[in-house]
A and B are shown apart, each in its own frame.
Chain A
Amino acid sequence: MKKTYVSMELNGEPVEFLAEPSQTLLECLRDTLHLTGTKEGCGDGNCGSCCVMLDGTLVTSCLVLGVEAEGRTVKTVEGMATGAKLHPLQKAFIDHAALQCGICTPGFLVAAKALLDQEPDPSEERIRLWLANNLCRCTGYDKIVRAVQAAAKEIREEKQAQ
C-alpha cells in the first residue's frame, strides 16, 4: 500500500516522514526516524515501555498509528535532557539505582515526567497509581518510587530557588 506523508514536531524540532498505513507511531519513531530510546515490550499497550507524549498527553505509542501524528507534537525520552543537563528524573533514576536492565526506564521516565509536570508533590499512592501501566521486572519498583519522590523534591526546590 502507498505510504502517507506525515509531518509532526518531535522533541521540539519539525520532522517529516513516510508511514505505511498500518505502521504504529512506535515503529515510525524507531524504524523510520531511528529514535530507538522508546522501547517495545509487548506491542499491545500493556507494558508501558513505549510511552511518549502526544500533544501533551501520555500515550503508549504502540497503540497510536504513525499517520495519526500528522500535525501534532511528540516528545520522547530523547527530548528529556536539556543539552548536557539531565532532567532531575533522569539523574534521580541513576542516583537511586532505579534501573537495572534499563529497558523499561525510558517509559517510566516519560510517564513520571507527565505526572510531575501536573502534580509537583504526588503521594506514594498517587505515584503508584499513575505508573501502574508501566511494568518493570527487575527492581520491584521500590527504588523507582523513591527516585520519583526525590526528583519531585528537587524540581520543587529548583522552582522555589528561581
Chain B
Amino acid sequence: MSTPSYNVIGTRPPRHDGADKVTGRAIYAADFQMNGLLHGAMVRSTHAHAILKRVDTTKAAAFPGVVAVVTADDFPQTPDRIVDLGEGETPVSHLRGNVLAKGKVLYQGHAIAAVAATSLQAAEQAAKLIEVEYEPLPCVLTAVEAMADGAPLLHGGDTNVTAHVHHAMGDSDAAFAGAAVLIEREFTTATVHQGYIEPHAATVLWNNDGRVNVWCSTQGSFVVRDVVSCLLDLPVSQVRVTPTEIGGGFGGKIPVYLEPVAALLSKKSGRPVKLVMSRRDVFEGSGPTPGSMMRVKIGADADGKFIAAQAFLAYEAGAYAGGMVGAGAMCVFAAYDIANQTIDGYDVLVNKPSTAAYRAPGAPNAAFATESVVDEIARELKMDPLELRLRNASREGTRRADGPKFRRVGCVEVIEAMQAHPHYSAPLGEPSHAEAKRGRGVAIGYWFNIGLPSSCVISVNADGTANLIEGSTDIGGTRTSIAMQAAEVMGIPVDQIQPTVVDTDTIGYTGVTGGSRTTYATGWAAHDAAQDVIRQMKLRAAKLWQTEAVDFADGVFRAGERAMTFAELAGKMSETGGPVVGQASVNPRGAGGSFAGVIVDVEVDTGTGKTTVLRFTAVQDAGRAIHPSYVEGQMQGGSVQGIGWALNEEYWMNPEGRMMNASLLDYRMPTILDVPMIDTQIVEVPNPAHPFGVRGVGEANIVSPPAGIANAIRDAIGVRLYHLPMNPPAVAAAIGGQK
C-alpha cells in the first residue's frame, strides 16, 4: 500500500482538553460536586475467605449524620442468569456478589456494606460501627495451589478451575521428535495492579422521577449503565451515566464496583451519594491482573525453524470466573509461524480480588515465558536472537492455533526495524563499577486488538466549524485522535472541530475505551460521520448550483467552474434545508493486531541484585499513526509499566491472604528516577480493514518488556530468572545459586 497524502493525519496538534487538564479545571470523578451531596464509606472484609455469619448495621444507622446504610440484601434478588454487559459473559450473581458480598467473602477487601452520611468523617466513623461476624475458611492464593487436590474451594463444586481453553493444530508431540533443539521451562509471575493514579470514584442520584443519574470514572459508560440497570432491575433507559474525566484505567476501570452501591444508598436516602476508594481499597478491592504459572516448550530444527510448541498456562481468575487466560492462550505463540502447537489454558479461582484486564491482559505473562524460551534457543543455536525471530515470524496467512489466519500484519517489519535500529548495534559500554555487569535483551509481542460498537455525531456550524460528540471516555488524547480523522475527511483543520465525550442518553452505544479500540473504532465512526456530513453538503451544493455532480476534495466543493470552501457552504445551510448533522455507528470486525518489540540494555549490580535499565527502545506497528506523539506516549507508557512488572511490582500476600504492601510506597511502581528516556520507533503497516489503516496502539507495547528485560539480565549475569518480578533479592539469589 502506498502512503496516501494526508493533511491532518500524522500531524501533532495540541489536544482539545489540554487547557482544562493543565489548569486543574478538568473535572474527574472525585471532583464532582452537587447540592445535598452525601458522602459514603464502605466496610470491606478483613478475611480472605470466610462465611459471613452476621452483618449488623444497627449502631451505624444510629450514628449522627448517617442517612442510609446498605448491604447485599438491599439489591433486588432477581433470578440468576448469564449476561454480557461489556465485561464478558458472567452470571448476574457474580457481578452482584463482587459489588457487595452475600453469604461469603472471597478476598480480603471484598465489600460488605456501605454507609452514606452528611460528612465523610461521619460516614467513615459509622462504617467502623458495622459489626461483621466471620467464620474464617482456609484460603488459597495461587493458581497452582488452587488446582491441587484438596484445595479450599471458592464456589463449591469439585474444582477451582472455571474454564479450560484448548487450542491445537498439527501434532506437537510427534513433531518434537524431529527437533535439533528442544527447550522446556516453567515460569511464574506475581499478581500485579494496573496502578492508575486516580482511585475509583462515583456519584449517583436516584432522582424523584425514578431515573438513576451516575457520574463516574470509567472506561465504559455504557458498561456502567448496563450493569447498574441489571443489578437494580431497571430498564436501561432509566439509567444515565455521565463519564467524568478519567485518571487512568489500563483495563482496571472496565469493571463496575461503586456505582450500584452508591445507587442503593441514594435510593434509600433520596439524595446524591458519592463514593471514593482509598488507595488501599484500590489495591484490595479492584483489579488486579493475574499472577500465573506457565510451562512453555518449543522445538526448533538445526536452522532455527520452530517445528513444534506447547504451552500450559494457569492464570489466577481471582474470586470470580472470567480471568485473562483466554487472551493469554491466543497470544502465547502468535508471533511465530509454528505448524504444530498445543495450548492449554486454565482459569483458576483464588482468594484475591476478581482479576481485571490490564493492557493486553494475559499476553505479557505468556510472552515472558515464550520469549525467554526463544532466547534460550537462540543461545543454543548460537544464532542472533532477532534473526531467529525473523526466521519464524508470523506473516499474512500464518494460522494461529486458536483458529484465525493473520491478514496483513507487521511482525516482520517490527523485527526488521529492531535489527536496523542503531541501538541494536551500539556498544553496551563499560560497567559503572567492578561488581556491575551489563547485558542486552530483545523480545517481541502481539496483541490482537478489538472492534466493538462505536457511535459518532457531527453537527456543522454556520461558520464552517463543527461539533463532534462521541461516547469513548478519553484516557490519553482520543478526543483529538478521533476528531483528526473527521477533520481529514471534512478537509478542515482539527482545531475547527470541537469534540466532546457525552453521556449515555446523548450518543449511541459505544463500547469500552479498551482493547486499543478507541482511535480505531470510534475513529472509524468519526470518519463515517464526516463522510455523511460531506454527502449531505454535496446535496446542498447541488441544490444551490442546480446541478447533480458535485465533487469534494481538499476542503472545496466543486461543480464545473463553480467552487465553494467547506466554510462558505456551511454558511448557506439555512437557505438549503437547515442544519447538517452527520452520524454513524460502526461495529468493525477488522481490528488489525499489533506487533511490538523492545531492545533493552541493563546493568545488574551483582552485589545487591539491583537491575538498572540503561537504554530502552520500543518498536511498534501502529498501522497508521494518527497523532504520532500520542502513539509514542502509549509506547513509552506501556514500556515503563512493563519495566515495573519486570523488576518490582507484586502483590505481596501473607499466608492469610492479606496484602502486605497495599500502598504506593510499598507497591513499588517505577518513578521518573527509575527509568531512562524511552526511545520509540513507529512502524506503519496499514491495517487494510480501517479507512486510514489504524491498528490501535494502546496495548501491544506492554507485552514484550518483561521478557526483554529478563533476556537482558540473562545476558548480563549468565543466569536466567523464571519468575516475575526480578527484584534485587531474586536476582541476588539467582547469582548466589550460580556461585
Residues of A within 8 A of B (CB): 20, 22, 30-31, 34-44, 46-47, 49, 76-78, 80-81, 86, 90-91, 93-97, 99-106, 109, 124, 127-129, 131-145
Contacts A41-B199, A42-B279, A80-B23 hold; do A137 and B673 have CB atoms under 8 A apart? Answer: no
B671, A135: Cβ atoms closer than 8 Å: yes
Binds A, one of B172-180, B570-578, B634-642: B634-642
**Is B14's CB within 8 Å of the partner chain A?**
yes
Contacts A39-B247, A137-B197 hold; do A102 and B663 have CB atoms under 8 A apart? Answer: no
Going nearest first, the 5 A-B pairs with the smallest beta carbon separation are A37-B24, A103-B247, A140-B636, A102-B21, A140-B640
16 additional A-B residue pairs with CB within 8 Å, beyond A44-B665, A77-B23, A141-B636: A36-B24, A37-B24, A41-B247, A47-B197, A78-B23, A86-B23, A90-B22, A94-B15, A99-B21, A101-B246, A124-B677, A137-B196, A138-B475, A140-B636, A142-B636, A143-B629
A147 to B: closest C-beta gap in Å: 10
A140 to B617, CA, bound (A): 12
B674 to A: closest C-beta gap in Å: 8
Chain B facing A: main interface SS: loop
Which of A49, A94, A101 gathers most chain B CB within 10 Å?
A101
24 contacts between A and B (CB under 8 A): A22-B121, A35-B24, A37-B24, A37-B25, A38-B24, A39-B198, A40-B199, A44-B279, A47-B664, A78-B24, A86-B23, A90-B23, A97-B633, A101-B198, A101-B475, A104-B247, A106-B24, A129-B673, A131-B673, A137-B248, A138-B248, A140-B640, A141-B675, A142-B678
**Is B31's CB within 8 Å of the partner chain A?**
yes
A122 to B31, CA, bound (A): 34
**Is B528's CB within 8 Å of the partner chain A?**
no
B198, A141: Cβ atoms closer than 8 Å: no
A67 to B476, CA, bound (A): 37
A38 to B28, CA, bound (A): 11
Q: Nearest residue in B to A49 (C-beta to C-beta)?
A: B197
B477, A97: Cβ atoms closer than 8 Å: yes
In the bound complex, residues from chain B placing their C-beta under 8 Å from that of A100 are 248, 475-477, 630, 633, 637
Checking B17, B246, B636 against A143 with a beta-carbon cut-off of 8 angstroms, the contacting residue is B636
**Is B48's CB within 8 Å of the partner chain A?**
no
A47 to B667, CA, bound (A): 11
B641-683: CB near A (< 8 Å → 1, else 0) gives 1000000000000000000000111000111110101100000
B603-637: CB near A (< 8 Å → 1, else 0) gives 00000000000000000000000000110110011
Contacts A42-B664, A100-B475 hold; do A137 and B677 have CB atoms under 8 A apart? Answer: no
A50 to B: closest C-beta gap in Å: 11
B187-216: CB near A (< 8 Å → 1, else 0) gives 000000011111100000000000000000
B709 to A: closest C-beta gap in Å: 14
**Is B12's CB within 8 Å of the partner chain A?**
yes
Which of B24, B30, B630, B663 gathers most chain A CB within 10 Å?
B24
Q: Nearest residue in B to A38 (C-beta to C-beta)?
A: B24
Checking A39, A44, A80, A133 against B28 with a beta-carbon cut-off of 8 angstroms, the contacting residue is A39
A135, B248: Cβ atoms closer than 8 Å: no
A103, B671: Cβ atoms closer than 8 Å: no
Q: Nearest residue in B to A109 (C-beta to C-beta)?
A: B22
B21, A128: Cβ atoms closer than 8 Å: no
Contacts A97-B12, A97-B630 hold; do A30 and B245 have CB atoms under 8 A apart? Answer: no
Q: Nearest residue in B to A87 (C-beta to C-beta)?
A: B22
A97 to B11, CA, bound (A): 13
A77, B199: Cβ atoms closer than 8 Å: no
A128 to B674, CA, bound (A): 9
A142, B673: Cβ atoms closer than 8 Å: no
A46, B675: Cβ atoms closer than 8 Å: no
In the bound complex, residues from chain A placing their C-beta under 8 Å from that of B33 are 34, 36
B277-289: CB near A (< 8 Å → 1, else 0) gives 0110000000000
B346 to A: closest C-beta gap in Å: 30
A100 to B641, CA, bound (A): 14
In the bound complex, residues from chain B placing their C-beta under 8 Å from that of A97 are 12, 15, 477, 629-630, 632-633
A100 to B: closest C-beta gap in Å: 4
Residues of B within 8 A of A (CB): 12, 14-15, 17-19, 21-28, 30-31, 33, 120-121, 194-199, 245-250, 278-279, 475-477, 629-630, 632-633, 636-641, 663-665, 669-673, 675, 677-678
A134 to B664, CA, bound (A): 11
A81, B247: Cβ atoms closer than 8 Å: no
Contacts A44-B279, A44-B663 hold; do A138 and B476 have CB atoms under 8 A apart? Answer: yes
In the bound complex, residues from chain A placing their C-beta under 8 Å from that of B121 are 20, 22
A2 to B298, CA, bound (A): 70
In the bound complex, residues from chain A placing their C-beta under 8 Å from that of B25 are 37, 78
Contacts A97-B12, A105-B21 hold; do A135 and B28 have CB atoms under 8 A apart? Answer: no
B28, A141: Cβ atoms closer than 8 Å: no
B457 to A: closest C-beta gap in Å: 25
A103 to B30, CA, bound (A): 11
In the bound complex, residues from chain A placing their C-beta under 8 Å from that of B665 are 44, 46
A61 to B638, CA, bound (A): 29
A90 to B20, CA, bound (A): 10
A84 to B151, CA, bound (A): 64
B197, A104: Cβ atoms closer than 8 Å: yes
A81 to B21, CA, bound (A): 12
In the bound complex, residues from chain A placing their C-beta under 8 Å from that of B633 are 97, 100, 138-140, 143
B18 to A: closest C-beta gap in Å: 4
A41, B640: Cβ atoms closer than 8 Å: no
A86, B22: Cβ atoms closer than 8 Å: yes
A131 to B12, CA, bound (A): 26
A137, B663: Cβ atoms closer than 8 Å: no
B14, A101: Cβ atoms closer than 8 Å: no
A139 to B678, CA, bound (A): 10
A82 to B: closest C-beta gap in Å: 12
In the bound complex, residues from chain B placing their C-beta under 8 Å from that of A95 are 14
In the bound complex, residues from chain A placing their C-beta under 8 Å from that of B669 are 135, 137
B194 to A: closest C-beta gap in Å: 8
A38 to B23, CA, bound (A): 10
A47 to B669, CA, bound (A): 10
B664, A135: Cβ atoms closer than 8 Å: yes
In the bound complex, residues from chain B placing their C-beta under 8 Å from that of A129 are 673
A41, B279: Cβ atoms closer than 8 Å: yes
A132, B664: Cβ atoms closer than 8 Å: no
B249 to A: closest C-beta gap in Å: 8
In the bound complex, residues from chain A placing their C-beta under 8 Å from that of B250 are 137
A144 to B673, CA, bound (A): 12
A160 to B477, CA, bound (A): 34
B195, A137: Cβ atoms closer than 8 Å: yes
B671, A132: Cβ atoms closer than 8 Å: yes
B23, A144: Cβ atoms closer than 8 Å: no
In the bound complex, residues from chain A placing their C-beta under 8 Å from that of B195 are 137
In the bound complex, residues from chain A placing their C-beta under 8 Å from that of B637 are 100, 137-140
Q: Nearest residue in B to A124 (C-beta to C-beta)?
A: B677
Q: Nearest residue in A to B680 (C-beta to C-beta)?
A: A142
B655 to A: closest C-beta gap in Å: 26
In the bound complex, residues from chain B placing their C-beta under 8 Å from that of A104 are 197, 247
In the bound complex, residues from chain A placing their C-beta under 8 Å from that of B198 are 39, 41, 101, 103
